Chains A and B, each alone.
Chain A
Amino acid sequence: MRHLLRRIGFYLVALWASITLNFLIPRLVPGNPAQVLIARLQGRIDPRAEHAMEIAFGISHDSLWRQYFEYLGNLAHGNLGISVTYFPTPVATVIGQDLPWTLALMGTAVVLSFVGGTLLGIIVAWRRGSRLDALLTPALTFLSAIPYFWLALVMLYVLGFVLNWFPLSGGYDLSTEPGWTPAFLLSAFQHALLPAFTIVISSIAGWLLGMRNAMMTTLSEDYVLMAQAKGLSQRRVMLAYAARNAILPNITGFALSLGFIVGGALLTEIVFSYPGIGFALLQAVQNSDYALLQGIFLIIAVAVLGANFLADLIYVALDPRVRQERS
């Protein structure tokens, strides 16, 4: 219990630190959103409009401290401000409409990739040196070594454009109305397949290799030898003795990637024109959109901390040593 309380205290401090960094980092970048908008419109807007836009965007010339406390106050009230990129849409609206897409696509893809990669890693390690190990491990490593952007483009071109197996872009067929209707859900599922597949393909090797290598170490441990000597079933030795001890690093990695899910998959969203928060984040960075940046970073920070906390809890359950050491 004391262990948990200490962890919670640590997470609160970390949350405060990340909120403060959130505030500071965008403001260290020179320039302001009005200038960026002028750059983006390149002569399509009268240069005198810069003044009007500075007023509209509420570009503040207050001291940094003052801005900081205003920011903390707004956060406490759940007010994330108005986005400049999508002016005058509130940040909460922008995040609210993009986040579900990101969670659905990335959540599924990351879980599939983790479960698949870890299971394959266990099997491959158990049968190390077999034909399966010799084929699967290098093949998946090869796929993950291809730059993701390129892999996704090729898949889109071949599977989508040439073979026409998958839709080319978007999150759903635009002729269906979004809602909990079978037609929409089916269409959303079809549109998610190819993007999710590319994410899984390009990331599964990491899980597989991590698990395989950790398994190798545990397989040479005496307790595994003893379990086998006791005559336990192959499956029990593989899963309960070797894999359970080997999986800890993968769990940490998984928790981290769960946290980063909410950051979106920028490249996926760009290649497949898939709705999501990654593109909004890119737009925010490009447009010096402090409010939107802060809003998205806040979500990421909370999600990463939350996922780590979850990992801590799982550690406690998986690894008795954590429980005993601290009592």
Chain B
Amino acid sequence: MIPRSTISFVYGRGRVFALISLLLVLITLLAACGSSLNTNTARQGGTLTMVPGPVGDYTRNFNVFANGSVLNGTQGLIYETLLFFNREDGSVKPWLASSYQFSSDATSITFKLRPNVQWSDGKPFTSADVLFTLRLIRDHPAIDYSGLWTVITGMTAPDAHTVIMKLKRPWVPILWYLGGQTYIIPQHLWSSVSNPVTYTNPDPVGTGPFVLKSFTPQLYVFDRNPHFWQPGKPYINEVRYPSFNSNTSADLLLSQGSVDWTGLFTPDVNKTFAQRDPAHNHYWFPPSDVITLYPNLTKYPFNLLAVRQAISAAIDRNTLYRIGENGYEPPSHPTALVLPANQSFLSSTYAHTSFALDTARASSLLGRAGFKKGSDGIYVDKNGRRLAFNINVVSGWTDWVTDCQIMASNLRAIGMDVKVNAISFNSYYSALQTGSFDTAISYTNTGPSPYYLYNSLLASINTAPIGQPATSNWERWSDPTTDTLLQQYASSADPAVQQEALSGIQKIMVEQLPTIPLIYGATWYEYSTTRFVGWPDQQHPYAVPAPYAAPDVEVVLLNLHQV
């Protein structure tokens, strides 16, 4: 996925990067990391400059609840979460909470908080702050982004460093929303805020490693927080966020070496960036989610498994990867697991499965399902209905439009009359939600384990009848077995029971193709080792490496130190 916040003409077409240069980059990556992980040599100091994306001028908005418009860094560098979930490998780390414990029936969670944490104004951080934050979310549905209070029934704090959350029903996945995505704010400062939804929080006070030093619409600067709870950290003195309106000038500055860390889509990144200084300029675009083709399962012929299988077998995913996506977004695994991040959840049955282009199989599948080619070379069924349909895509999302054109020509070649329907985002999105489409290309919603993707993609609770808006199960997959497996995962804190459920859903995904996984969406991440080392990379995937990823940006900055 290419970030769409800028307008389309800043994107160009890149060329497939050469294998040799990739090797070169890998070698230099390895060389750079050998030294970087030795924390004994971590040097204190330095100013790091980062550009998460071209968002234009800033407004002084450090309201940590304003998802999507809050300034980058507020979530993570200033305000922190109870736990840290590494979405690149599925592990959970204690953060503001030193431990968490589910009750045996998974209906309550006990968080033990670190005793030595202070707010950046020197006041102690206690369980009262956690309760206050959650109460604020309860009282203002406008900031309850993940529907916490549809599951939580109550909470108590037996002492200053213990919080117990009670749930309506066993629901283990809440740990990610509650522990990994809820930022704790100080009661002593926010209790006087009349409306936390519209409060711009101009002078943020948090527990994180940095504090606000200065703000202008063109630049804001964070300083190290002397009260930070991890001894000796952060190593970096100052973090600068200059504003940019487009990729162009940020790219030039990155090449020039005055920016250390960006999250930009750059065509032909190897040539324009990495090769300019192979020793220092690096990039890593790990998969972030799965781009899939959503078939409308309530419509003929997509309700036929054979047709879905034939479509899947006829799509040349390698061409999507090489041509449509500049060689940045490789073909998806048939289980729709985001690999390698979800590797530990992959069922052994599918360890060596991959999608393969097989037009002969596609033809035989259609033949067995009773389709015959008509005089115009297009398949017709027994009742004479032609196999003709549209693929919806957003006009202007150029990479996806190219992908759809490639798929359409793939499918026409085996005898399906497929048209690309490029429309505005609003029409596209409302068609997806209400189910008035044939097929559409779109993204998926991921989390620290495959459950989150499967739940939003396949759970019947996330779908709706045709004509009514579905949250995320747009293909309208409604299957009791899938729901039971999702429920099995959600109601048990036992990894073995959870894995059994995930393996079951992987089988459904591979064998029944509720949607047709295509390629992976990418995380954009370019960095320079000229001034700082300790970056995440393929060998050290310790956090989502994009500078716009929260709260991962904190974990990365705590690892970085001067050369």
- Chain A residues packing against B (C-beta within 8 Å): 29-31, 35-43, 45-53, 55-56, 82-89, 93-94, 97-98, 149, 153, 156-157, 160-161, 168-172, 174, 177-178, 269-275, 279-280, 282-283, 286
**Min CB distance, A156 to chain B, in Å?**
7
A274 contacts which chain B residues (CB < 8 A)? 245
Q: Does B217 contact A (CB under 8 A)?
A: yes
- Is the beta-carbon distance between A86 and B61 smaller than 8 angstroms? yes
- Is the beta-carbon distance between B444 and A275 smaller than 8 angstroms? no
B243 contacts which chain A residues (CB < 8 A)? 170, 273, 275
**Alpha-carbon distance A177/B60, docked complex (angstroms):** 16
**Alpha-carbon distance A86/B394, docked complex (angstroms):** 24
**Alpha-carbon distance A31/B429, docked complex (angstroms):** 9
Known: A48-B145, A52-B142, A174-B218. A31 touches B60 (CB 8 A): no
Known: A56-B143, A283-B56. A46 touches B445 (CB 8 A): yes
**Alpha-carbon distance A283/B240, docked complex (angstroms):** 23
Known: A37-B68, A45-B67, A52-B144. A149 touches B456 (CB 8 A): no
- Is the beta-carbon distance between B7 and A47 smaller than 8 angstroms? no
- Is the beta-carbon distance between A87 and B69 smaller than 8 angstroms? yes
Closest to B453 in A: A43
Closest to B471 in A: A47
- Write the B216-243 contact mask toward A (1 if CB under 8 angstroms, else 0): 1111000000000000000000001011
- Is the beta-carbon distance between B444 and A86 smaller than 8 angstroms? no
- From B4, B143, B240, B245, name the one whose CB has the most chain A CB atoms within 10 angstroms: B245
Say which residue of A43, A53, A160, A171 sits within 8 Å of B446 (CB atoms).
Answer: A43
**Alpha-carbon distance A275/B245, docked complex (angstroms):** 8
- Is the beta-carbon distance between A42 and B68 smaller than 8 angstroms? no
Q: Does B289 contact A (CB under 8 A)?
A: yes
Find residues 149-198 in chain B having any chain A CB closer than 8 Å to their own CB: 177, 197-198
Known: A39-B4, A42-B1, A56-B197. A275 touches B218 (CB 8 A): yes
Closest to A164 in B: B256
Task: Please give the number of chain B residues whose Cβ is less than 8 angstroms from any Cβ of chain A in the complex.
Answer: 66
- Is the beta-carbon distance between B7 and A52 smaller than 8 angstroms? no
Find residues 72-116 in chain B having any chain A CB closer than 8 Å to their own CB: none
Q: Does B141 contact A (CB under 8 A)?
A: yes
Say which residue of B6, B142, B218, B249 sits within 8 Å of A56 (CB atoms).
Answer: B142
Q: Given A30-B424, A53-B68, list of 5 further CB < 8 A pairs? A: A39-B394, A42-B521, A47-B471, A84-B69, A88-B61
- Is the beta-carbon distance between A149 and B9 smaller than 8 angstroms? yes
B199 contacts which chain A residues (CB < 8 A)? 88
Q: Does B63 contact A (CB under 8 A)?
A: yes
Q: Does B57 contact A (CB under 8 A)?
A: yes
Q: Does B147 contact A (CB under 8 A)?
A: yes
A171 contacts which chain B residues (CB < 8 A)? 218
- Is the beta-carbon distance between A270 and B142 smaller than 8 angstroms? no
- Is the beta-carbon distance between A39 and B425 smaller than 8 angstroms? yes
**Alpha-carbon distance A42/B5, docked complex (angstroms):** 11
**Min CB distance, A100 to chain B, in Å?**
10
B66 contacts which chain A residues (CB < 8 A)? 56, 87-88
- Is the beta-carbon distance between A43 and B218 smaller than 8 angstroms? no
**Alpha-carbon distance A23/B465, docked complex (angstroms):** 34
- Is the beta-carbon distance between A41 and B68 smaller than 8 angstroms? yes
Closest to A170 in B: B218
Q: Does B252 contact A (CB under 8 A)?
A: yes
Closest to A285 in B: B7
Q: Does B472 contact A (CB under 8 A)?
A: yes
- Is the beta-carbon distance between A45 and B145 smaller than 8 angstroms? yes
**Alpha-carbon distance A186/B427, docked complex (angstroms):** 48
**Alpha-carbon distance A251/B387, docked complex (angstroms):** 63
Known: A43-B446, A47-B456, A47-B472. A273 touches B141 (CB 8 A): no
- Is the beta-carbon distance between A275 and B217 smaller than 8 angstroms? yes
Say which residue of A30, A52, A161, A170 sits within 8 Å of B256 (CB atoms).
Answer: A161
Say which residue of B61, B240, B444 sits within 8 Å of A174 (CB atoms).
Answer: B240
